A and B are shown apart, each in its own frame.
Chain A
Amino acid sequence: MYATYVIWSKHMTKFFHSTEEALGLALQSVLWVVLFGVGMRGIVTQVEGRDYLTFILPGIIALSALAGSVGGGIMLLDERLRGITREYLVSPIPRLSILLGNAASTSTKALLQALLMLVIGMLMGVRLTGNPLGWLMALLLVALFTLGFSGLALAVASVSRSIMGYHGMIFLLNLPLLFASNALYPLDVLPAWMRTLVLFNPTTYLIDAVRSLAFGAQPSLVLTNSIAIVTVFAAIGMWLALSAFRRSIRS
């Protein structure tokens, strides 16, 4: 998987080259946490006996992981439409590494963003658990989740014919994944039908696990199940990406 590393490092080089992208990502994180956190604090003070910012921080992190994955898909689409992928395709590397390299760089960016958000959150009074292993696990889950959603985005990017078409399709995925989850409201307050819907969403499991691992909340779902589901989601996402990508390069 050396080729994955090469493609990952290429994307990271480009990322740090382009100050707009790096700065934009950082600013986005700050704005989300500060504005959304402070704004919502005015109307909701506590959820499940905890500070609301502590409650929604995992949700915001998941949201930015979603946004990052969408960006990763655009990167592939752009490279595909401009023909840059052909450089990879004529070189002796596995096809999967093109996708993994892309998804890995997306995950790395999402992790950087998550870290930054955690730091800002802590500056604003969010308290983490005292267990660094829990933080690590939580970050690992964020990375896996990003891989999974990157997979979906890359699958769409493999078949889209234009940036506009890609946005149209991805928009259909993105918002429901956020709102039909436990990102903004706890599971217990939801009516049964919505609870069922929310339980079909892998985002829910990520957020619940992160809340319990990094913030010490009582998990609403079985933690090991959540971890397993996020892991399976990552595998399914990448599998979808690979089969869509294979189909697109076979013509």
Chain B
Amino acid sequence: MATAAIEANGLVKRYGDVTAVAGIDLTVAAHSIYALVGPNGAGKTTTINMLTTLTPPTAGHVRVAGYDVQRQARQVRQCIGVTFQDIVLDGDLTGRQVLDIHGKLYRMSRQERKRRITELVQLVQLEDVLDRCVKTYSGGMKRRLELARGLLTNPQVLFLDEPTQGLDPQNRVGIWNYIRHLNREHGLTLLLTTHYMEEAEMLAHTVGIIDRGLLVVEGKPADLVATLGANVIRIHGQGDRRHFIQQLGNLPFVDRVQVDEQDSVVQVYVDNGNRRLVEIVQAASGNGFRVEEIAVAQPGLSDVFLRYTGHALRD
């Protein structure tokens, strides 16, 4: 097998006049976790649908686990696991039946199904409810069951579309732990999409930021953050913002100034936040801008997102 678990070149999907994915190149190394981050409607799900053989691309090529998704769809399907953005479970079946039927679709033998189900149910902690109808499960239990289903067939690559959407913090951390465990202990390659920056930051070896159907930047989370500068100073205020920003740009210690129009926050990237705070407040007051709130922070992935897309990521 090639070293890349997923290789996409020039991926495009158009629905009539609407372009959902405008040309994405993507490489996911085997045994790594890749997070596709972006707001709703950015093209994440469409991309996943193309990678998982659900939707044929309008243009471009994809290889998953070495197989072409269009010409060798069956082989691709055989070696991937997928969980979808919305919960896709039959409420009238029990958890055990859901898993068992899934295993049968992949022609797993009875003993193998039994063994895997026991193993996975232990992993996702659903032993107690396995023989209850799925409709009695909580949202977190359903997600965990879906995760177990995606893993049942021992996939080489697991696709998770918004795996923690709508979950409470406790369940979310639980899912994160499973994901990390699977990657570390079993070398599973994972591609997940999320619109939670912290999720990408916590889990991914590589993050790809997707906006309006394009992959705007890609890299290790730490590297992406490091390009921004040591600290970021966030300023809320009133007054002549444009002039103020111009002034800031002239200061020697300022790396970059970024404005999030929607929140009207001015973000100033500097070499040392604590030391420069006072100078920045001074620059403001001398230029007709009144600072109402100011804070020094470590830049994170959400700042990377703002930098490359020009707008903040919101739920």
Please list the residues of chain A having a beta carbon within 8 angstroms of any beta carbon in chain B: 2-3, 6, 9-10, 13-14, 17-18, 82-84, 86-93, 249-251
Contacts and interface: CB of A to CB of B under 8 A. Distances in A.
B93 A82 contact: no
A92 B77 contact: yes
Interface in B74-122: 74-75, 77-78, 80, 82, 84, 86, 88-90, 92-93, 97, 101-102, 104-107
Closest 5 pairs (CB-CB, A-B): A92-B77, A6-B104, A92-B78, A91-B105, A83-B88
A6 B101 contact: yes
A13 B92 CA distance: 9
B15 A251 contact: yes
A1 to B, nearest CB: 12
B90 A14 contact: yes
B53 interface: yes
Given A83-B88, A251-B55, A90 B93 contact: no
A10 B82 CA distance: 20
A224 to B, nearest CB: 39
B86 A83 contact: yes
B105 A14 contact: no
Contacts of B56: 250
B77 A86 contact: no
A18 B92 contact: yes
Nearest to B54: A89
B193 interface: no
Contacts of A3: 105
Nearest to A21: B92
Interface size class of B (residues with CB under 8 A): 20 to 34
B304 to A, nearest CB: 31
Contacts of A10: 90, 93, 97, 101
B107 A2 contact: yes
B164 interface: no
B156 interface: no
B84 A83 contact: yes
B194 interface: no
Contacts of B231: none
20 contacts: A10-B90, A10-B101, A13-B93, A17-B133, A82-B88, A83-B84, A83-B88, A86-B82, A86-B88, A87-B105, A88-B105, A89-B53, A90-B52, A90-B54, A91-B105, A92-B74, A92-B106, A250-B56, A251-B15, A251-B55
Contacts of A91: 77, 102, 105-106
A17 B82 CA distance: 27
B213 to A, nearest CB: 17
Contacts of B133: 17
B77 A90 contact: yes
A249 B101 CA distance: 22
A17 B92 contact: yes
A176 to B, nearest CB: 33
Given A83-B86, A90-B80, A91-B105, A14 B53 contact: no
A96 to B, nearest CB: 13
A221 B297 CA distance: 87
A7 to B, nearest CB: 8
A86 to B, nearest CB: 6
Choose among A87, A89, A251 the residue with the greatest number of B CB atoms under 10 Å from its CB: A87
A165 B246 CA distance: 59
Contacts of B52: 90
B288 to A, nearest CB: 55
Contacts of B78: 92
